[in-house]
Structures are given as C-alpha cells and as structure tokens.
A and B are shown apart, each in its own frame.
Chain A
C-alpha cells in the first residue's frame, strides 16, 4: 500500500509544555487510521500539525509524497478535515455554508452537486435552514460535507462523535465506513473512545502524554482473546464465589463497583453464560468491552518503549 501521510519525529512545545514528543507514523492509502488517546494526549495537536494549523517545533510531514512545509496549499488540497467542533457560519444556511467553503476551496460546484453532498450526510431537507437551528449531530455532518466538498483523497476527523447522542454516533460511524468502503477515501479519525475506533479502524496509533505508545493493525491490537467482560447478575457475591471455585477462576479480574470482571476470549462468553445459568445465577448482562485505561495499562506494563504490532 502506498503511504499518503508520512510523519517523522514530530514534536511540539508550547513554552515548557511538550504537547507532542517525537511522534512518527505512516498512514497508508485506503486506511481508516484510528488515532487513539485520552483527552490531552496530543491527538488534536498532532492532527492540527498535519493540517498546518500549528507549526511543529521539529519533525517532518509529507502528504502524498510532498513536504507539507514546502507545498502547504497543494497538501491541503489533498485533505479535508473537521477539527474538534465543526463550527460554521451560524447565520448562513447549510447550503450557503457548503457553497462558501466550496468557493474557499477554489471550486464552484453546481446546485445539484451541493445538494448531492448534503444528501450524502442526510441534510438535504434542511439545506435552506440557518445553521444556528441545527443540533450538534447535524453540525457535525455538515462539517463532514464541508470537509469533502473539494473531493480530497484524505479525510481527517478529530473526535467526530464528541457531544453526539447514540444515533448521532452511529450515523458518523456509518459515514466513516462509507467514506472508506464506497468512496475509497483514506480516513484519519481520532477519539478517546476505544470502542469507537475499534469499530471503524483498520490501523491504530495510540498516543499518551504526547508520546506514541503503539501503532499497528486494529485486528492485532484489539485481540479478541483479551476481551474484558463485565458480568451483572442478581447475586454478585454468590456468583463470584461460584466462579472462584470453578474453571473460570483464572479469568477473574479485580471487581469494579458492583460488576464481576473477567478477561477472556470473546468466544468463551456463551460457555460462561451457560455455566452461570446452570448454577442458578440470573444473568442480567455479560458485556465484552475494552477500556482505554486497561488497554493503556496493558500496553505500558508490557513495554515502556514504542511498540509496533504486525501490519
């Protein structure tokens, strides 16, 4: 696969604060590249440097083989982005905003093309409404339409599900998958939610305190054998005692609040459920989940240095 974004030794200081520290990564053509880290980890600063909103203290960025610092305008032509909140001109309609940003991108789309773009993000019916009447999810979708209006090959979305309701989150997730699968865009998406990245990303980079922790394929990083399963049932004390005396004891983890936690392969969940039911435990839920905190602990306890999983 051809690299479309190549970042080498990227660092950024704000005074004495080091926001990004010697981060290197490569985004390949067709990737849905997940950029994962807790709030304040340096994700947004890195993405802003990719878009030349922030000047790196050191390091190089190449976009489609060209240096960003030497070919800024050409590099930006290849990219469309929504950074944090998709703030647009609230006194203009969705249609007028889209037309304005299209002209800023140096193109003059027809009315039909603009409406098609709004249709793609599900805003065609609200095209003539002023944006100040829009929900956060609608603004987010309009932001994505604006990012795509000049048909960039790379789409950068910074925390696109922030502040959205579950339906909004699902809409954005589906849109990202469409961008990748149907429109063949390379997508870089950042989030602090592992579950969000897990569902869309083909490759993942995890960043913490400005430093790269791991980079690799999503399938390798989100190993189903390492699923953390939360059990909720009618009698947690009894269930815990039963599990401790059974073959499930090695899988038990420290309890979280009222939940019993086990670390196991996802495929084992039906067997665990069967065991509990046969033991007369009323199971309310068995929820497999990754916790970013757990994941970080797992990554950092194994190796303090930068790790690269299989591609």
Chain B
C-alpha cells in the first residue's frame, strides 16, 4: 500500500499545478501580514472600538492574534485549494487516458483508490502544515508574542501567551480533519467524471450550499444541521474558548466545550469513511471505457 501511495505522491508533486496552492497560501498570508504590519493599529482600533473604556497594555497585535485572523479568513478558501488536487485524483487520470493503462497493472482497485486517497490526504496535511508555518511561525517572527485577546460576540477571551501554542496545534489538527473530509468529498465526485473541472465545481457548490443551509436559522434545517459536515468545519475555534472560575478568570489549559470538538471530529471522520467507502464501492463496479 505504501508503495502505491508513494507513487501517487510522486505524481502529485511532479505536477506544477500542485505548487499553485502553496504559492496562493503564501501570497494570501503574506498580504495579510504586510497589511497588518503597515497599518495594524487601525485594525486594532476598529476591533476594540466598542470597548474603549478598557485599559489595555502590551502587544495586542501579536503573532498569535494575527494567526487567528488569518485562519478565520483562509479556512474558507483552503477547501478550494484542497479540492483542486483531490477532485482531480481519478478524473485527471481518466482525462489523461492513463486510467486504463494503470488499471491493467496487477493490484486491486481498492488498494489503488485507498493509496490515492491517502496521497490526497497527505497533500492536504502538507498544505495545512505550510499554512501553519506561514501563519503561526511567520506571524510570531514578524509580530512577536504576547497574551492573546479574542473578542467573542458577548465577551472577551484573554489567553496567557504560554497557553496559546497548544491550542493552535489542536486547531490545525482539527482543521486537518475538516479538510480531509473536503478532500474525501472531492475524491468521491472525481470517480464520476472524465475531467477535473466538474468535480471541483461540484464539490465547492456542495460546500457552499451546505454552508448556507447550516447557517440559516430556520427550524426545519435545525434537524439536519448537526449531520452536515460543514456545520462542524468551523469548530476549530472551540480550542480558543476557555473555562473560567468564579472570579471570571480564564483557567489555563482548559477548553470550555471539549465535547463539541469531539462530537465534530466524530461527525467529520464518519463523513470521511462514508465518502471514501462509497467511492470504493462504486469504482469497483465501474467500467473503464475512457
């Protein structure tokens, strides 16, 4: 299996288009960092404008906050970058005509599909690792570190700077599961098409459609909302909500609602298994007529 997976990784990383995603992430993060470095104070003034009665000391606009801002912005775009590769995994082979030559080689279709999915997942993880390096370490380097202040809808969370890093590790880990779920959906759709555009557009359309459904506050949709994987994709933010004591002080090393994180991870993992399982069942019966 590893042999097949390594071959798929080799193919992914020999294609120039693979690096477009890395370049796009670098450019986007760089643009945010540059903007905030040049005129970050305006952003901070806007952010704390409604709570100007507070006296704030220290470096609010530090690397931790910048990374949070970047994650909020980019985790909406990353599914597209992930889909560019995952939705091309099978359809790209059909489009190039290599599918029929590859499938005459002595291995099972299940092995081949799993190796392709693992390769797409590894690509996704590498993309997120690159994003973490750029957004977190890059911002820490440029903006320094300090306590992290987050404005929630009705309260402020202040995290000690020694209590932040592990939360990012958790948040990126959670984001990885979310993005692998997106990759799995793109992967499933790629078996139905003989070109990459269809599965990429369909995957993104499904994500947009389900996101709209999951954010609509209509009672009818409340029943299905917990079962939609997109509902859970933003729950990486739960890592940055802490428990507080009777004096309303943050308790270091705690998460306010860890159960929600676990529940979301289970739902996302179930979706991954369902998407990949369906892909295997359908592809095993598929006639290769390209």
Binding site for B on A (CB under 8 A): 14, 48, 51-55, 72-74, 76-77, 79-92, 96, 100-101, 103-106, 143, 146-147, 150
The answer to whether B98 and A88 have CB atoms under 8 Å apart is: yes
Q: Report A-chain residues with C-beta under 8 Å of the C-beta of B288.
A: 48, 53-54
CB<8 Å pairs between A and B, sample of 8: A52-B103, A54-B288, A54-B289, A83-B100, A85-B97, A87-B96, A100-B10, A105-B106
Q: How far is the CA of A53 from the CA of B112 in the complex (A)?
A: 14
Known: A72-B108, A87-B97. 4 other contacts (CB 8 A): A54-B287, A55-B285, A79-B104, A84-B97
Taking CB atoms and an 8 Å cut-off, the chain B residues in 2-24 that contact chain A are 3-4, 7, 10-11, 14-16
How large, as a class, is the contact surface on chain B? 20 to 34
Contacts A91-B14, A91-B15: A76 and B105 contacting too (C-beta < 8 A)? yes
Contacting residues, chain B, for A48 (C-beta < 8 A): 100, 287-289
Task: Given A73-B107, A87-B96, decide whether A146 and B7 contact each other with a Cβ distance below 8 A.
Answer: no
Q: Are B98 and A89 in contact (CB under 8 A)?
A: yes
Contact between chains at B106 and A73 (CB < 8 Å): yes
**B75-108 Cβ-contact flags toward A at 8 Å (1 or 0):** 0000000000000000000001110111111111
Within 8 Å by CB of B101, from A54, A91, A143, lies: A143
Give the CA-CA distance A88 to B11 in the complex, in Å.
12
Contact present for B96 and A77 (CB under 8 Å) = no
Those 3 A-B pairs whose CB atoms lie nearest each other, nearest first: A87-B97, A53-B288, A77-B106
Measured CB to CB, the closest approach of chain B to A85, in angstroms, equals 6
Cβ-defined partner of B7 (8 Å) among A73, A82, A104, A150 = A104
* CB pair B100 A55 closer than 8 Å: no
Q: Which residue of A lies closest to B285 (CB)?
A: A55
> Are B104 and A83 in contact, CB atoms less than 8 angstroms apart?
yes
Q: Which residues of B contact A96 (CB under 8 A)?
A: 14
How many angstroms from the CA of A266 to the CA of B107 in the assembled complex? 49
User: Are B101 and A101 in contact, with the CB atoms below 8 A?
Assistant: yes
Least Cβ–Cβ distance between A204 and chain B, in angstroms: 23
Contact flags B275-290 to A (C-beta < 8 A → 1, else 0): 0000000000101110
**B12 → A minimal CB distance (Å):** 11
* Residue pair A106, B11 in contact (C-beta under 8 Å): no
For A12, give the chain B residue with the smallest CB separation.
Answer: B287
Query: Could you tell me if B106 and A53 are in contact, using CB atoms closer than 8 angstroms?
Result: no
Which of chain B's residues have a CB closer than 8 A to the CB of A87? 96-98, 100-101
- B105 / chain A contacts, CB cutoff of 8 Å: 76, 101, 104-105, 150
Contact string against A for B residues 107-121, beta-carbon threshold 8 Å, 1 for contact and 0 otherwise? 110000000000000
Residues of A within 8 A of B104 (CB): 51, 53, 76, 79-81, 83, 147
Contact status of A73 and B97, CB under 8 A, knowing A55-B287, A91-B14, A104-B7: no
In the assembled complex, the Cα of A83 lies from the Cα of B97 at a distance in Å of 10
Closest CB of chain A to B91's CB: distance in Å?
14
Residues of B within 8 A of A14 (CB): 287
CB distance from A253 to the nearest CB of B (A): 39
Contact status of A73 and B289, CB under 8 A, knowing A87-B96, A100-B7: no
A69 CB to closest chain B CB, in angstroms? Answer: 12
**A88 and B101 form a contact (CB under 8 A):** yes
Q: Give the most central of B15, B16, B288: most A CB within 10 Å.
A: B288
Q: By CB atoms of chain B within 10 A, which of A77, A79, A89 has the most?
A: A89
Asked if residues A150 and B106 are in contact (CB atoms below 8 Å), the reply is yes
Chain B residues contacting A72 (CB-CB under 8 Å) are 108
- A76 to B, closest residue via Cβ: B106
Least CB distance, A149 to chain B, in whole angstroms:
10
Contact A104 B15 (CB under 8 A): no
State the CA gap A81–B288 with chains docked (Å): 14
Q: How many angstroms between the C-alpha atoms of A105 and B4 in the bound complex?
A: 10
Chain A residues near B287: list those with CB within 8 A: 14, 48, 53-55
